[in-house]
Amino acid sequence: MKLVKATLTAAALMLTAASIATATAAPAPWYVYASKVNGYRICSQYSPGFGWYKASSVAYTTLGHCNAYGR
């Protein structure tokens, strides 16, 4: 009986910790990337590939803010 209580308590603590971690997670930032070929700029949360470089050092919180960046 003690083992069952200990297991249930440990499971409850793990679920609580997991829910707190996901509740406080922030969205991934958006960056402006420019093409090395023609300079075309896009907003993305991750690098689009080898032919692109990060054109802004500022991390935007939403896609709307990122798109307002001058092209």
Question: What are the pLDDT digits (tens) for 11-54?
Answer: 777 777 666 656 667 788 889 999 999 989 889 888 899 999 99
Q: Among candidates 46, 22, 20, 21, which has minimal Cα distance to 33? A: 46
Q: Is residue 62 part of a domain?
A: yes
Read off the pTM. 0.58
- The whole-number pLDDT of residue 38 equals 93
Q: Beta strand 31-35 with 41-44: parallel, antiparallel or unpaired?
A: antiparallel
Average pLDDT over residues 4-15: 74
Q: Is residue 48 part of a domain?
A: yes
pLDDT tens digits, residue range 23-32?
667 788 889 9
Q: Is residue 46 part of a domain?
A: yes
Q: Is residue 2 part of a domain?
A: no
43 lies in which domain range? 31-67
Q: Is residue 17 part of a domain?
A: no
Query: What is the number of domains present in the chain?
Result: 1
Q: Among candidates 7, 55, 11, 6, which has minimal Cα distance to 30? A: 55
